[in-house]
Chains A and B, each alone.
Chain A
Amino acid sequence: MTTQEWKFTAKDMAIKPDLFTSGHRACAGCAPAAVLRLVMKATRGPTIVTQATGCMEIVGSIYPYTSWNLPWLHTAFENAAANAAGIDAAIKIMQKKGKMSKEHIDIIALAGDGGTLDIGLQALSGAVERGHDFLFVLYDNEGYMNTGIQRSSSTPLGASTTTSPAGSVIPGKLETKKPITEIMLAHGMEYVATATPYYWKDLLTKVRKGLEVEGPAFLHVFAPCPRGWRSEPSKSMEYSKLAVESCIFPIWEAVNGIRQLSTPSKILQLAPQKKKPVKAYLEGQGRFRHLFLPKNSHVIDQIQSLTDARWAKLLKQCETATN
């Protein structure tokens, strides 16, 4: 992997034509759509994109229209990584046999949290184990939003969804979020990182670094969904910032297993007083509204203590890695 520092400026981004273009049918305030646009801004040359079934697949490919200005393949829900595997195998052998130009082609597989943590986990694990050359980008909106806001294993503790509704007895989802990046790190991947679209330059840099890896790379991108989160469409970027500031979603990268906090999270390590309480992140999101009833205040306390514990663990993991 090259260590070249990427300087994506706002000007560079404006000049580079969109590869995920306007005209798609995403909702107002859809962070996943912004994520896709940003990811495509970071491509470095010939690229093939493959995508799992989901909101972002639907909105960009409504026949006979398309938002994709590069070759794009969708086949099903649980298999974005297997698509990438097939594309990778075909490119490798066809280039070797002279059936295809020898110019390097990057492969990006896109999936939501359902298509990654739940139904897509097997195909992802298999493709990574086999070492296919692709970047897997998870846009995490913490639920099955395309089918109408159901819980996934990425839905956080306490969130109300249509299959984990906040009722008079049960205060939303009782389980915590599956630690997908830890699972991917356990595969011994060369590059694993987390990002949010608020810190767009950081996101672009991580996409580019992932593409530069000769083999599989994994990028977990936090992506608020105003419909699913019952939040203001204008606040998606704000939540993308608050999630980092409250340490709900710290951003970091691990190169060959050596983990380092990215600047916005690093600042919180150096100046812990700047770390915001989870309440600041939770309030305003309709999916957590019930937690602010007096009888459910213990859930907020639980989220705070879990967040603190995870953050402390992450700091240790970064420490161990650098020492």
Chain B
Amino acid sequence: MTAKVIKQETTGMNGDEAIAFAVKQCDVDVVAAYPITPQTIIVEKFSEYVANGEVQTEFVCTESEHSAMTASLAASATGARVFTASASAGLALMHEMLFVTSGSRTPVVMAVANRALSSPLNIHGDQSDSMAERDSGWIQMYVENAQEAYDTTIQAFKIAEELDVSLPALVGLDGFTISHTLENVNTLSDDAVKAFVGERKYPMVTTHEGKQVPFKLDPANPMTMGPNVAPAFYFEFKRQQEEAMRNALIKIREINAEYAKISGRSYGNGLIDAHKLDDAEVAIVVVGSTAGTLKVIVDELRSEGIKAGLLRIRTFRPFPAEEIKNALKNVKVVAVMDKSMAPGAQTGTVFSEVRNALFDLKQRPLTTSIIFGLGGRDTAPRDLRKIYEDLMKAARVGQVDSLVRYLGLKE
């Protein structure tokens, strides 16, 4: 990278600690949260920062996740920069408020240490929790490791607070695999992060008197926020959220590039992260930490002369359909791996969206859906290698074995 890259410190941290450290550096005004495994380390670590006077942040330990998201929204509406964290059942309890937060256009940032949903009760990692919130109007970015968890949290504040975005953003990290696993994390200086994220800005709105005022609760400029909106206007509000998502597609790319200049680190184009995909005959599409193992497998297969590739979707909302289409257009067979399940949907959620994105291609790759890792089920490198081998076979015979497969299932 360029010579401007800032000197960094390397510290051993797990994903949760890396996020807490990033939040500490982002000059966050309010953190409102409720504990839940595997997110708890984030709020514990942050509580220590508060207790030791290392941050200027009002920390609100709410009595539920519903109130955590409500207080986050309300603090953000009052003008504060706000962070929260949750997972699984906690995220599900927030469900109602996730829609209200995005609809209120309050740029709250939330880390979700992805965990399975009950029933049966399971505290381990899969992505069912935030995938179930895909239509809640939140930006969703999923990371591959603790380093990216740190980097993405910093970027998330900047993305969410962009004036033409003004949407809440979720950073998803695989429970335990990332949240609890110690890694080397390079961190920027406090000043560098502060300068990168900047102060929170507010969209200006025109009052009935024609005055331009910042969009927040302010006794100097009374504003009614969260009104009752009839059919005559509701649709327009929702359409504007989609517009904001379109803008986010651009901003995420820009901010990924801008961040690379100071840190030396970028994640694909910010939306998707391709590995040896240019001339690939077969490819796997995945979200989250599994990409790390898959890269090793791809390199191994490449050394054996097999044209394997990998596409990691980093930004799931807004969905980068165009980028995915272009990245996969020359691939013969694609497997899309979902670490969540949508019972009754026939295939995985990410699979459905990827296949949808490919539909307009004149020559479409063959596609297959793989459900894996539910409730923390381990996925071994040999299982992943086997997928590529099956894809090569499908490429030879011109058809896939099945529409959907359950990897590592005892049956």
* Chain A residues at the B interface, C-beta cutoff of 8 Å: 46-48, 50, 57-58, 61-64, 66, 68-76, 78-79, 81-87, 89-94, 96-97, 99-101, 105, 122-123, 125-127, 129-130
Q: In the complex, given contacts A85-B67, A93-B57, what are 11 additional A-B residue pairs having Cβ atoms less than 8 angstroms apart?
A: A57-B228, A61-B227, A63-B230, A73-B74, A75-B70, A75-B104, A79-B66, A82-B74, A83-B74, A93-B30, A122-B64
The reply to whether B100 and A85 contact each other, CB–CB distance below 8 Å, is: no
The reply to whether B79 and A99 contact each other, CB–CB distance below 8 Å, is: yes
CB distance from A66 to the nearest CB of B (A): 4
Q: Which residues of A contact B219 (CB under 8 A)?
A: 46-48, 70-71, 105
**A48-B78, A87-B75, A90-B29 known; A125+B63 contact, CB < 8 A:** yes
The reply to whether B233 and A89 contact each other, CB–CB distance below 8 Å, is: no
For A94, give its contact among B73, B79, B100, B227 (CB under 8 Å).
Answer: B79
Q: Which residues of B contact A69 (CB under 8 A)?
A: 222
Considering only CB atoms, which chain A residue lies closest to B31 in the complex?
Answer: A89
Q: Does B62 make an interface contact (CB < 8 A)?
A: yes
The reply to whether B222 and A72 contact each other, CB–CB distance below 8 Å, is: yes
Q: Which residues of A contact B64 (CB under 8 A)?
A: 122-123, 126
Question: Would you list 5 pairs from A and B whose C-beta atoms are within 8 A, ordered by A residue?
Answer: A79-B70, A86-B74, A89-B58, A100-B79, A130-B60
The reply to whether A73 and B70 contact each other, CB–CB distance below 8 Å, is: no
The reply to whether A86 and B225 contact each other, CB–CB distance below 8 Å, is: no
| Bound: A91/B80 CA distance, A | 8
Considering only CB atoms, which chain A residue lies closest to B29 in the complex?
Answer: A93
For B62, give its contact among A66, A82, A84, A90 (CB under 8 Å).
Answer: A82
| Bound: A92/B74 CA distance, A | 13
Considering only CB atoms, which chain A residue lies closest to B233 in the complex?
Answer: A63
Q: Does B311 make an interface contact (CB < 8 A)?
A: no
**A82-B70, A123-B70 known; A91+B78 contact, CB < 8 A:** yes
Q: Which residues of chain B in 43-102 are interfacial with respect to chain A, using CB atoms and an 8 Å cutoff? A: 56-58, 60-64, 66-67, 70-80, 82, 96-97, 100
The reply to whether B73 and A75 contact each other, CB–CB distance below 8 Å, is: yes
**A85-B60, A123-B63 known; A74+B225 contact, CB < 8 A:** yes
Q: Does B119 make an interface contact (CB < 8 A)?
A: no
Q: Which residues of B contact A76 (CB under 8 A)?
A: 70, 96-97, 100
Q: Which residues of A contact B78 (CB under 8 A)?
A: 48, 86-87, 90-91, 94
Q: Which residues of B contact A96 (CB under 8 A)?
A: 56
Q: Which residues of A contact B32 (CB under 8 A)?
A: 85-86, 89
Q: Does B223 make an interface contact (CB < 8 A)?
A: yes
| Bound: A91/B228 CA distance, A | 25
| Bound: A46/B78 CA distance, A | 14
| Bound: A91/B30 CA distance, A | 10
Q: Which residues of A contact B96 (CB under 8 A)?
A: 76
Question: Contact mask B217-240 → A, CB, 8 Å, 1/0?
Answer: 111111111111110010000000
Q: Which residues of B contact A48 (CB under 8 A)?
A: 78, 217, 219
**A71-B219, A72-B223, A99-B79 known; A78+B29 contact, CB < 8 A:** no
CB distance from B335 to the nearest CB of A (A): 41
| Bound: A83/B32 CA distance, A | 11
The reply to whether B227 and A123 contact each other, CB–CB distance below 8 Å, is: no
Considering only CB atoms, which chain B residue lies closest to A71 in the complex?
Answer: B217
The reply to whether A85 and B74 contact each other, CB–CB distance below 8 Å, is: yes
* Chain B residues at the A interface, C-beta cutoff of 8 Å: 29-30, 32, 56-58, 60-64, 66-67, 70-80, 82, 96-97, 100, 104, 217-230, 233
Ranked 10 nearest A-B pairs via Cβ: A86-B74, A126-B63, A86-B71, A46-B219, A90-B78, A82-B70, A74-B226, A82-B67, A90-B80, A90-B75
| Bound: A92/B56 CA distance, A | 11
The reply to whether A87 and B217 contact each other, CB–CB distance below 8 Å, is: yes
The reply to whether A75 and B227 contact each other, CB–CB distance below 8 Å, is: no
Q: Which residues of B contact A47 (CB under 8 A)?
A: 219
Q: Which residues of A contact B62 (CB under 8 A)?
A: 82, 85, 126, 130
**A70-B219, A71-B217, A122-B64 known; A90+B74 contact, CB < 8 A:** yes
Considering only CB atoms, which chain B residue lies closest to A106 in the complex?
Answer: B219
The reply to whether A63 and B80 contact each other, CB–CB distance below 8 Å, is: no
| Bound: A182/B294 CA distance, A | 60
The reply to whether B60 and A86 contact each other, CB–CB distance below 8 Å, is: yes
The reply to whether B80 and A74 contact each other, CB–CB distance below 8 Å, is: no
Q: Which residues of B contact A97 (CB under 8 A)?
A: 29, 56
| Bound: A72/B66 CA distance, A | 20
Q: Which residues of A contact B29 (CB under 8 A)?
A: 90, 93-94, 97, 99
| Bound: A84/B74 CA distance, A | 7
For A90, give its contact among B79, B97, B222 (CB under 8 Å).
Answer: B79
The reply to whether A66 and B61 contact each other, CB–CB distance below 8 Å, is: no
The reply to whether A75 and B226 contact each other, CB–CB distance below 8 Å, is: yes
Q: Which residues of B contact A123 (CB under 8 A)?
A: 63-64, 66-67, 70
Q: Which residues of B contact A73 (CB under 8 A)?
A: 74, 77, 217, 225-226
Q: Which residues of B contact A84 (CB under 8 A)?
A: 74
The reply to whether B56 and A86 contact each other, CB–CB distance below 8 Å, is: no
Best-surrounded residue of B58, B72, B218, B220 (most CB of chain A within 10 A) = B58
Q: Which residues of A contact B221 (CB under 8 A)?
A: 71
Q: Which residues of A contact B224 (CB under 8 A)?
A: 61, 66, 68, 72
Q: Which residues of A contact B80 (CB under 8 A)?
A: 89-90, 93-94
Considering only CB atoms, which chain B residue lies closest to A58 in the complex?
Answer: B228
CB distance from B94 to the nearest CB of A (A): 11
| Bound: A92/B275 CA distance, A | 47
| Bound: A316/B61 CA distance, A | 37
The reply to whether A68 and B97 contact each other, CB–CB distance below 8 Å, is: no
Q: Which residues of A contact B74 (CB under 8 A)?
A: 50, 73, 75, 82-87, 90
Q: Which residues of B contact A75 (CB under 8 A)?
A: 70, 73-74, 97, 100, 104, 226
| Bound: A63/B57 CA distance, A | 34
CB distance from B351 to the nearest CB of A (A): 33
| Bound: A279/B74 CA distance, A | 45
Q: Which residues of A contact B233 (CB under 8 A)?
A: 63-64
The reply to whether B97 and A63 contact each other, CB–CB distance below 8 Å, is: no
| Bound: A301/B369 CA distance, A | 69
The reply to whether A63 and B228 contact each other, CB–CB distance below 8 Å, is: yes
